[in-house]
Structure formats: structure tokens, C-alpha cells
Amino acid sequence: MAESAQSQEVVIPGGDGAALVARAGQLLEIIDVEGEQVADFIAFSERSQSEWLSTTHTRSTTLRLNIEVGDILQSNWRNSMFEVVQDDVGTHDVITSMCDARRYTIDYGVTGHRSCRTNLTQAFEPWGIADWQIPDPFNLFQNAPIRPDRTFGNERPTSRPGDKIVLRVLMDVLVGVSACPQDLNPCNGYAPSPIRVRLDGQAT
Ligand SMILES: [Zn+2]
């Protein structure tokens, strides 16, 4: 039988990451504390690390390059992992990879820059999940407008302080969130800031 669901709250400093366990039935809130901050969001099934939250499978079902209230976010096994139940922002990226050390070296000539991949690899270390296993993220609050010619941009997020997205957890999962450290383009308003993650304690 599932363990009782505990309420939890984690404040992730800008540029840092965290992972936590969430139980089916809990509500997961991801809050942009100061605004204009992307939260790279990934998840694994708790029962098997070969099942993860998949942007590709979710897009294939929703046939949309965004997520909306009512959408079911799917795993790579096509199981339902989360339902979007509230969204204050309405603009998210479900296409691009997370930032990694190579991105900063190759595209910006910067070595040793923190990255979402480093953050999430460190956060999942206690579960024995390696760097190469980190899946593509849902880039919550990322503003990558898609143009008529099907190219897309990379602009400041439209999220305001305190804006959040709320997901209903549909299976027991390990959740990872990175408050993206990218400060060399507009995607975090050039100033990474905190993300608050809150899990309610009431399984419904
Ligand atoms: Zn990032």
C-alpha cells in the first residue's frame, strides 16, 4: 500500500535544482517566486527508472506545442503521470533540451557554468540515476514563441512574481526541478531567481 503522502515545500535558489518523491493523488505546485524564471521539470516513475515523463509522447497525444489546463502529461510508456489543473502563465516550452555544460562552452565560450543537467544529475544521485538518463524536460514558464514559418524564439518569460502551475500527480514519481541557471540569454530575464515547489499532503 502506498505510504501516506507528506506535504513538502522546497525553495530552490536561482540556478540550483532539487528532487523529491510525489505520490499519486497529491497536488504539485511549481511557483515562479520572483517572475521571469524557467523551471526545467522532469520525472521518473518511482517503480522503474526506465519510465520517465516524456515531452515527445505528450506532444504526440495533445498535438500541441504547449500544455494547457486539462492536459495529461504522459510517460514514455504512454501512462498518465500528471494532469495540469491550474496554470497562471499559459506559456511553456515542450520542444527544447535543457541547458548543459556543453551548451555554455560551445555556444557562449564559457566553461564551468552551472546547468540544468548538472543540477538534475546531482539531485537524482541518491536514486542512482546517471547524467545520460536525464530525459528532455518540460521547460515550465519558458517563452519560446512559435512563428508562422515554424521557427521559434527564446524570449523573456511572461510569468509574474508568484505565478504557478499546478499538476495533479497520477502515479508515484520522483520529480526533479531546476531553476535554470541560464543568464546569457533572455530565457530567465538574464537573472536566475528562485522556484518554490510545494506538494500538498492530501491524497485525493
Ligand atoms: Zn537550464
58-116 confidence digits (pLDDT tens)? 999 999 999 999 999 999 999 999 999 999 999 999 999 999 999 999 999 999 999 99
Distance 30 CA to ligand 1 centre (A): 16
**Per-residue confidence at 201, pLDDT binned at 50, 70, 90?**
confident
CB-based neighbours (< 5 A) of ligand 1, an ion: 99, 116, 180, 182
The full set of domain ranges for the chain reads 40-197
Residues pairing with 177 in the sheet? 18, 41
Measured distance CA(33)–CA(12) in Å, rounded: 10
Distance CA 196, CA 176 (A): 12
- Measure CA of the first residue to CA of the last residue in the chain; give whole Å: 15
Q: Which residues of 37-54 are buried (b: 16+ CB within 10 A; e: fewer)?
A: bbbbbbbbbbeeeebbbb
Cα 100 to middle of ligand 1, angstroms: 7
Q: 110: which 3 cell numbers? A: 564559457
Percent of the chain residues past pLDDT 90, beyond the cut: 95
Q: How much distance in Å is there from the Cα of 133 to the middle of ligand 1?
A: 16
User: Cα of 40 to ligand 1 centre, how many Å?
Assistant: 7
Query: How far apart are alpha carbons 154 and 38 in whole angstroms?
Result: 11
pLDDT in tens, 16-53: 999 999 999 999 999 999 999 999 999 999 999 999 99
User: Can you tell me the mean pLDDT for 120-127?
Assistant: 98
